[in-house]
Copies of this chain bind each other. A is one copy, B any other.
Amino acid sequence: MGVVTELKSLTQDDLLSGCAEIVGAAHVMSGATDVSAPYCKDWTGQYAGIPLAVVRPKSTQEVADIVRLCCAHGVSIVPSGGRTGLCGGGVPVSDDTSIILSLERMNTIRNLDADGRCMTVEAGVVLQTAQDRAREDGLVFPLTFGAQGSAVIGGALSTNAGGSNVVRYGTTRELCIGIEAVLPDGSIINALTGLRKDNTGYDLKDLLIGAEGTLGIITAAVFKLSPMPVTRTTGFLSLASLSDAPRVLNALQDRTGGGVEAYEYMPAAAVEVICREFPKIRRPLDALAETGLFFEVASSRKDDAEAGEDGETRLQRLVFAALEQLMEEGVIIDAMIAQSEQQRLDLWGMRESILEAITANGSAYHTDISLPLAAIAEFVTTMDVAVAEMGFQPITVGHLGDGNLHYALSAAEGQDWAALPLDQAKQQIFALLTRLNGSFSAEHGIGQSKLDVMRKLKQPSQLVAMRAIKRALDPEGLMNPGKFIPETNDAAQKT
CA distance in complex: A78, B119 (Å): 40
Q: Are A442 and B303 in contact (CB under 8 A)?
A: no
Of B188, B197, B440, B461, which one neighbours A162 at CB under 8 angstroms?
B197
Q: Does A76 count as interface, using CB distance less than 8 angstroms? A: no
| Contact of B301 with A190 in the complex, beta carbons under 8 Å | no
A193 CB contact (under 8 Å) in B227, B372, B404, B470: B372
* A171 and B183 form a contact (CB under 8 A): no
Chain B residues within 8 Å of A210, by CB:
199, 202-203
In contact, A116 and B374 (Cβ under 8 angstroms) = yes
Are B446 and A199 in touch, CB under 8 angstroms?
yes
Contacts of A461 in B (CB 8 A): 183, 187-189
Residue in chain B with minimal CB distance to A228 = B254
Query: Which of A101-109, A146-154, A245-253, A335-343 lines the interface with chain B?
Result: A245-253
Judged by a CB distance under 8 angstroms, whether A5 is at the interface is no
Q: When the two chains form their complex, are residues A196 and B472 in contact, meaning their CB atoms are under 8 A apart?
A: no
Report the Cα distance A302→B445, complex, angstroms: 40
Q: Which residues on the B side are within 8 Å of A470 (C-beta)? A: 202
**CB under 8 Å from chain B, chain A span 425-469:** 437-446, 454, 457-459, 461-466, 468-469
- Cβ 8 A contact of A466, one of B199, B202, B462, B484: B202
Closest Cβ of chain B: how far from A486's Cβ, in Å?
Answer: 10
A-B contact pairs, 22 of them (CB 8 A): A113-B372, A160-B199, A193-B372, A193-B437, A195-B403, A195-B439, A196-B370, A196-B403, A197-B403, A197-B439, A197-B442, A198-B370, A199-B443, A199-B446, A201-B458, A201-B484, A202-B211, A204-B466, A207-B207, A226-B258, A254-B301, A471-B472
Q: Residue among A167, A174, A461, A465 with the most chain B CB within 10 A?
A: A465
A296 close to chain B: CB less than 8 A: no
Return A167 CB to nearest CB of chain B, in Å. 8
Q: Are B199 and A445 in contact (CB under 8 A)?
A: yes
Q: Is there contact, CB below 8 Å, between A198 and B250?
A: no
Quick check: B198 and A442 within 8 Å, CB to CB? yes
Q: Mark interface residues in A160-198 (1 if CB within 8 Å of B CB, else 0).
A: 101000110001011000000001010111111111111
Nearest B residue to A439 via CB reads B198
Apart from the given pairs A115-B373, A166-B196, 20 other A-B contacts in the complex at a CB distance below 8 Å: A115-B374, A116-B374, A159-B199, A166-B197, A183-B461, A183-B465, A191-B459, A197-B402, A197-B403, A198-B370, A198-B439, A200-B458, A201-B446, A202-B215, A203-B206, A254-B300, A256-B301, A257-B259, A257-B299, A469-B469
A304 is an interface residue with CB less than 8 A from chain B? yes
**A437 vs B222: C-alpha distance in the bound complex, in angstroms?**
13
CA A187 to CA B485, docked complex, whole Å: 19
Residue of B nearest to A113 (CB): B374
Tell whether A247 pairs with B446 under 8 Å between CB atoms, given A193-B372, A439-B195: no
Quick check: is A386 within 8 A (CB to CB) of the other chain? no
Chain B residues near A374 (CB, 8 Å)?
113, 115-116
What number of copies of this chain does the assembly contain?
A: 2
Q: B residues within 8 A CB of A273?
A: none
Q: Does A117 contact B (CB under 8 A)?
A: yes
Interchain CB contact under 8 A, B462 and A473: no
B-chain residues with CB within 8 Å of residue A402 when the two chains form the complex:
196-197
- For the complex, is A209 an interface residue (Cβ under 8 Å from B)? yes
Is the pair B304, A257 in contact by a Cβ cutoff of 8 Å? Answer: yes
A68, CB-defined interface residue at 8 Å: no
- A318 within 8 Å of B by Cβ? yes
Residue of B nearest to A118 (CB): B372
B200 close to A441 (CB less than 8 A): yes
Tell whether, in the assembled complex, residue A440 and residue B200 are in contact, meaning their CB atoms are under 8 Å apart: yes
Query: Cβ of A191: which chain B residues have Cβ within 8 Å of it?
Result: 459, 462
Tell me the bound Cα distance from A153 to B255 in angstroms. 30
- B301 near A255: Cβ-Cβ < 8 Å: yes
Q: A196-B370, A197-B162 are in contact. Are A469 and B473 (CB under 8 A)?
A: yes
* Among candidates B250, B253, B301, B443, residue contacting A197 with C-beta atoms closer than 8 Å: B443
- Does A40 touch B at the CB level, under 8 Å? no
Instruction: Give me the 7 closest cross-chain CB pairs, A-B, nearest first.
Output: A472-B472, A187-B461, A206-B206, A468-B472, A197-B442, A198-B439, A196-B402
Q: How far is the CA of A211 from the CA of B198 in the complex (A)?
A: 12
User: Closest approach, in angstroms, between the C-beta of A221 and any C-beta of chain B?
Assistant: 15
User: How far in angstroms is the closest Cβ of chain B from A193?
Assistant: 4
**Is A371 positioned at the interface, with any CB of B under 8 Å from its CB?**
yes
A89 to chain B, nearest CB (A): 11
